[in-house]
Amino acid sequence: MIKGYNLSATQHIHVRSSYTTKELVWNAKFKIPHYIREDGTTIFELDKIDDFEEIPASEAGKN
């Protein structure tokens, strides 16, 4: 089971699925795929929904 925390809805999310170890990316976090324009409109970029960035191992697991 993978557990995450949705910052925008302030709730925990639980998902069950099956992954191989080759499909997992360790010490990484997803990039935020949206931004807010000056007029207040939220733009959600679906092509960036699976973008991630690697983080140092020393920071992994910190919230």
Q: Which tokens go with 24?
A: 């997992």
- Which sequence spans correspond to the domains of the chain? 21-63
pLDDT digits (tens, 9 = 90+) for 20-30: 888 888 889 99
Distance CA 24, CA 38 (A): 36
pLDDT at 51: 94
| Mean pLDDT to the nearest integer, 42-60 | 88
Distance CA 45, CA 59 (A): 27
Residue 58 main-chain phi, psi, to 5 deg? -70, -20
- The model's confidence at residue 34, banded by pLDDT at 50, 70 and 90, is very high
- Asked whether residue 5 carries a pLDDT value surpassing 90, the answer given is no
- Asked whether residue 12 carries a pLDDT value surpassing 60, the answer given is yes
Length of the chain: 63
- Among 24, 34, 33, which residue's Cα sits nearest to residue 54? 24
